[in-house]
A and B are shown apart, each in its own frame.
Chain A
């Protein structure tokens, strides 16, 4: 979080994660080379550099499929959230494997002639109108450039200096990079390898990634429908959340303000607090997290905020916007006006019987901060 600067924030958990991923990559490449040298024999024998190039290339694209599946899977099912925690490490490793694939390919096919390897790679084949002889290498190079930008900025230093929204936009370039890589494989390896396994695997992978993103996107669009105004409200500034019993202990229910962001309404210690649903780190969905040690904990990377003022516990200094809440006629209501980040708000105490019509109005503790964001 906000304390100190470290080039790489290693922890035991991350070291173990990286070691396991590295072992899987090495095992995959070793297995591919071993099986490949047994399968392609005699006149069909393949030299070791080409086997290695294929192993590295297929490993990179399998890893990229895994990375692209993690996001929507975590949106659709909480059980996948732990996999999301170190996704950036997986992304950097994928780039390194792809870079190794490109290096072997350039050295083997383009480095021994009189023409410069880069010119040989990018300049000689200009059959852009032919599917059969399309310069598929160009698609791979473009994707690798995008992956380089993402790998180079996969660090909290860049996240902090670019801001979460700009950083996330840059990292959304992985989607066009994925399309470029599908083209690279479809117009390259699939045209030369006549086996059935490669096309089936690629089509299944692309179908899975695409379907998961479309389903998760459709579900998100449904959640973005604005919450209704409560029947009892005399003004339209309050949104209905529902009975307090509908919110699980130490969990949240999210509501959407018309034209605004989602608001996460948490139940903790028999009281209700509301904060923005957007984590200050990477924009993670706070409403899908839970209250741990008295702090709202982001499900993506574990950043924490106190529910009563949206501030991270000391020594951290991050803060998020808060919202006023009240319980009226047995229903939780949240004010749609966002308070400045870090504004303390008294939690709404849940009455013994929530069917009471008594109002529990909750003004910010510091009235000086009680002004809408502009």
Chain B
């Protein structure tokens, strides 16, 4: 590969590595939370 392409590869993974790590951590954090329970529509109406 040419030098510019090699640099583009290296740069791409320097950007993607933390991005993927943050994405996975966020997804795991969300997964560990208890499932959200939306109040029934009737109750929402009462709350308003």
Contact = CB atoms under 8 A, between A and B. Distances in A.
Given A217-B9, A221-B10, A224-B3, A191 B30 contact: yes
Given A165-B2, A210-B13, A214-B17, A179 B27 contact: no
A132 B32 CA distance: 11
Contact of B5 (A132, A169, A262): A169
A283 interface: yes
Contacts of A158: none
Interface string A149-191: 0000000000000000100110010011011001100110011
B27 to A, nearest CB: 3
B29 to A, nearest CB: 8
B1 A285 contact: yes
Contacts of A202: 24
A175 B9 CA distance: 9
B24 A213 contact: no
Interface residues on A, range: 35 or more
Interface in B4-48: 4-6, 8-10, 12-14, 16-17, 19-21, 23-24, 26-31, 33, 35-36
Contacts of B17: 210, 213-214
If over half of A's interface residues share one DSSP class (helix, strand or loop), that class is named, otherwise mixed; here it is: helix
A174 to B, nearest CB: 10
Contacts of B3: 224, 260-262
A213 B13 contact: yes
Given A210-B17, A283-B1, A169 B23 contact: no
Nearest to B35: A132
B23 A213 contact: no
A182 B18 CA distance: 13
27 contacts: A131-B27, A132-B36, A165-B2, A165-B5, A169-B5, A172-B9, A172-B12, A175-B16, A176-B16, A179-B20, A182-B23, A190-B28, A206-B20, A210-B13, A210-B17, A210-B20, A210-B21, A213-B13, A214-B17, A217-B6, A217-B14, A218-B10, A220-B6, A224-B6, A261-B3, A262-B3, A284-B1
Interface of A: 131-132, 165, 168-169, 172, 175-176, 178-179, 182-183, 186-187, 190-191, 199, 202-203, 206, 210, 213-214, 217-218, 220-221, 224, 260-262, 278, 283-285
The 4 A-B residue pairs with the shortest CB-CB distance, nearest first, are A186-B27, A217-B10, A131-B30, A213-B13
